[in-house]
Amino acid sequence: MVSAWKRELLNNDPDLFEGKRKSIKQSDEPNTDELYREIGKLKVERDQ
């Protein structure tokens, strides 16, 4: 049973055990400006 799982995993994603990291798409990364805006908003909320 474990062999079947391993075979299925290796067939579906062979790069998983090769140490290769898939690059994160730019659209998946949060925008820095958005993060700073959120931090500012949270600081104002905290200080009130």
Is the Cβ–Cβ distance between 16 and 9 less than 8 Å? yes
Per residue in 4-19, pLDDT tens? 888 887 777 766 666 6
pTM of the model: 0.39
**Coil, helix or strand for 48?**
coil
DSSP output for 5-41: HHHHHHHH-GGGGTTPPPPPPGGGSPPHHHHHHHHHH
* Residue located via tokens 């908003």: 41
pLDDT value of residue 3: 86
